[in-house]
């Protein structure tokens, strides 16, 4: 029985963590919730990991993007520069381990807070992307969709001098760029209606679409256990599935570097990189 406590169970190191998670999850259908921490080993930074939590980051706010043209200009200028490095990211051992668990019918599906598409790239089939995917762009006026790669070509055509600017990649697939550098950046419009384009992701301050939330809750209901990988669970969009699992008295495992909001609900906590633990866990859970 999983209960919220003031004193979470102690976090285990990798070796002991594999054994403890295997014991907790063996023989159960394991729903997996992933966050940015699973993709840091693929070169994509996060917001709250040990290497980034000390940095001051100002993620794009939904309302500001909708109503302030200068915010959209800044976002797309940064995105033009961050996109090439973002697209070079490849799935790591942790992604492939979850794919193996899905194929072995241990994992019925994944819920991810990530927008990088790496679960799909690794071969996972049932992936609920809570916050959307950066690979798509949509028009806020007519709803038309465009591949992000196509928009990249259009932005480069309008802003050829930006192509060789050196920048630091940000977690959302954009990049650090001064306001001075943004001035004069030309933002493409929808090719169908001339409307405003937005990446098909959920910005801070926006809500996950209700049907997708319902699908995610339904997936949790299919499982016998929940495994959280690489998430601090600070954002409620992911944390709510942990509380639902606790309400259902499902065993909960958390694999993360650093503390998480759900630690008081966990039966097993492991402090390690996902790539260290998940491949060995997959072997343990699929061993006949």
257 appears as a binding residue in the annotation: yes
152 appears as a binding residue in the annotation: no
230 appears as a binding residue in the annotation: yes
Distance, in Å, from the CA atom of 149 to the CA atom of 166, rounded to the nearest integer, reads 20
How many other CB atoms are there within 10 angstroms of residue 30's CB atom?
A: 25
- Residues with Cβ < 8 Å from 50, sequence gap 6 or more? 257, 258
The two structure tokens encoding residue 259:
């503390």
113 appears as a binding residue in the annotation: yes
Q: Is 70 exposed, middle or buried, given 0-12, 13-18 or 19+ CB atoms closer than 10 A?
A: exposed
CB contact at 8 A, 93 and 27: no
109 appears as a binding residue in the annotation: no
206 appears as a binding residue in the annotation: no
139 appears as a binding residue in the annotation: yes
252 appears as a binding residue in the annotation: no
232 appears as a binding residue in the annotation: yes
CB contact at 8 A, 128 and 109: yes
194 appears as a binding residue in the annotation: no
| E strand segments, the chain | 11-12, 30-34, 110-112, 127-129, 132-139, 145-147, 197-201, 225-229, 252-255, 268-270
Catalytic residue among 62, 120, 131, 164: 131
- Annotated catalytic residue 67: no
Which residues are known catalytic residues? 131
Give the annotated binding-site residues. 113-116, 139, 142, 190, 193, 230-232, 256-258, 274
Give the annotated binding-site residues for NAD(+). 113-116, 230-232, 256-258, 274
Give the annotated binding-site residues for Zn(2+). 139, 142, 190, 193
């Amino acid at each position: 029985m999983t209960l919220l406590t003031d004193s979470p169970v102690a976090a285990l190191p990798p070796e002991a963590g594999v054994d403890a998670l295997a014991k907790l999850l063996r023989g159960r259908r394991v729903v997996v919730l992933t966050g940015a921490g699973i993709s840091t080993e693929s070169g994509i930074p996060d917001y709250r990991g040990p290497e980034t939590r000390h940095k001051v980051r100002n993620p794009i706010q939904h309302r500001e993007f909708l109503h302030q043209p200068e915010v959209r200009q800044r976002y797309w200028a940064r995105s033009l520069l961050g996109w090439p490095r973002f697209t070079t990211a490849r799935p790591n051992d942790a992604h492939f381990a979850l794919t193996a668990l899905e194929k072995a019918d241990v994992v019925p599906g994944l819920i991810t807070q990530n927008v990088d598409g790496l679960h799909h790239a690794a071969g996972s089939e049932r992936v609920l992307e809570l916050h959307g995917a950066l690979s798509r762009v949509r028009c806020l006026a007519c709803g038309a969709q465009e591949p992000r790669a196509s928009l990249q070509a259009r932005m480069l055509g309008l802003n050829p001098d930006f192509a060789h600017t050196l920048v630091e990649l940000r977690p959302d697939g954009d990049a650090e760029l001064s306001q001075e550098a943004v001035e004069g950046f030309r933002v493409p419009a929808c090719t169908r209606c001339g409307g405003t384009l937005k990446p098909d992701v959920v910005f801070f301050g926006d809500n996950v679409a209700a049907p997708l939330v319902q699908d995610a809750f339904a997936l949790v209901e299919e499982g016998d256990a929940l495994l959280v990988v690489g998430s601090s669970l600070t954002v409620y969009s992911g944390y709510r599935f942990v509380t639902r699992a606790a309400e259902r008295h499902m065993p909960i495992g958390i694999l993360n570097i650093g503390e998480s909001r759900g630690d008081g609900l966990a039966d097993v906590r492991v402090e390690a990189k996902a790539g260290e633990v998940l491949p060995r866990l997959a072997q343990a859970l699929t061993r006949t």
